[in-house]
Structure formats: C-alpha cells, structure tokens
Structure 1
Amino acid sequence: MRIKMRKPFISLIAMAITPFISACQEREVSHPFYLNYREDGVWQLVTCLEKGTSCAVDGLPLPPIYAAGANDTYVTVQNPEGYYYLPRVQHRVTGWDGKPESIVGPIPKTDFEIAQRKLDLPDLSVRP
C-alpha cells in the first residue's frame, strides 16, 4: 500500500512543478529575440521587450524552432519547413518592425548557405 501511495504523490508533485520549469526555459538569441519553450513542448521564436516579459510572435517563423542565430543585421532560424532569415531594424527595440513580408523562407539548406555567404548571415548557434 505504501508504494502505491508514493507513485501518485510523486506524479502530483511533478505535474505541479512542470509549468514552473517550462516557464523558465528560454534562450536568448540576441535581444529582443528569444527561443521560448511553450507549454505544448515546442520552442518558438519570440520578440520580448524584456527577457521573459511582453513577448510576441508577430508572424515569425512557425514552431517548432530547431535553431536560431543573430548578428547586428539579420536573424536566422531553422524549423521543420526549412531555413529563414529576416532583417533587423536597428532603430526599433522590437527588432524587426513586425513585418512578416520581410522574412525570407522557408528555403532549402543549399539556398540558405548561399545567402549566408552573400549576406553574412549569422550561424544557427542557439539551440533549444
């Protein structure tokens, strides 16, 4: 009887703390761009005014996000559909003006590598 009581108790504790662990899982790509762990278990790219607060998706590439990168000029992203890049808008703290039409992609890896050389796109160095 004692063993049966422990399993439900441990499961309840795990269920109770999981949202708090998930809520804290965030990777900075380059402010204001972050990879954020969603409750459904996938990572998405968001823009946040401050880390962990006031975040928005605003037409960014769809999750799940496998990797991202950023430099002063561009943000790069990889998801199951392919590779993307988008220009950063330097004068705005939100980073890209929320214009989905400025996102290039999805494109295949070979086209991404060509664009990376031509435009000096950043490596996909941030992974969930």
Structure 2
Amino acid sequence: MDEGNMEIQLDLYGIELLNSINCSTLPPHKLILKVGVSVMLLRNIDQFSGLCNGTRLHIRNLRNHVIECEVLTGNNVGHIALIPRMNMVPTNETVPVRFQRRQFPIVVSFAMTINKSQGQTLSHVGLYLSKPVFTYG
C-alpha cells in the first residue's frame, strides 16, 4: 500500500477510530509494559531461536526500539532474546480499512487460551468460573 492511499484513509477514518481497533493478531494501540512482566509473542521472529507465535517471555530491560526478554517456554528456556519494533498490518477481514502500526509484536500474558497453552508446562494454573458449573453443589 502506498503513502497516498494511507493518507486518504486516515482522512476518512479518524485517528481515534484506528487506535481503538483491536484484533487478535495486533497488540493494543497503547501497550503498557514494565520490567518483570510476562508477555506473549504474536509473530514468528526466529524459529531456530524459539521466537515463535505464542512463546512466553519475561521482560528484563526496556528500550525505545528493542526489548530484552528471557524465554520462558520451549527448547530455549533461559536464553536472552531481543524483540524489535515491527510494522504490523492486521489481517482481520472485519476491519474496514488497511493500516499498519509500528510496535512491538507482544501482548501482556497474564492468561492464555487453550490453543496457545498446548505443550506448555505450568507450575500453577488459575481457573475463574463466573457461574456454578457443577449441578450437585
């Protein structure tokens, strides 16, 4: 997509609308991170080093253009990885406009879906049941 089309679409759709779009393949517009938080990678960066979609990482250091993380899952547990900012374009068909965000391909990972958790070894698991699921008390 060229710059002219993006400028025209930016005029049609306000910046607030584009910032409010949340897709599963795209981190939130405002990503608040701190040293020590657990994050999940959203893109395949380096499969040989274990930096694949769904890899859990622990943030060690934050910089403007790169994040230093420790790998928590997979074959490379304990290795240090550098995660750069990337141009990310949402692939969701329901988004009416094509745009890109330049941001880190990670999302805070306090919880994960069943599909992302397959093959993971966890020492503690929490389960939130908002309604009773057992009929016998």
TM-score, length basis structure 2: 0.27
Q: Which has the higher helix share?
A: 1
Q: Which has the higher strand share?
A: 1
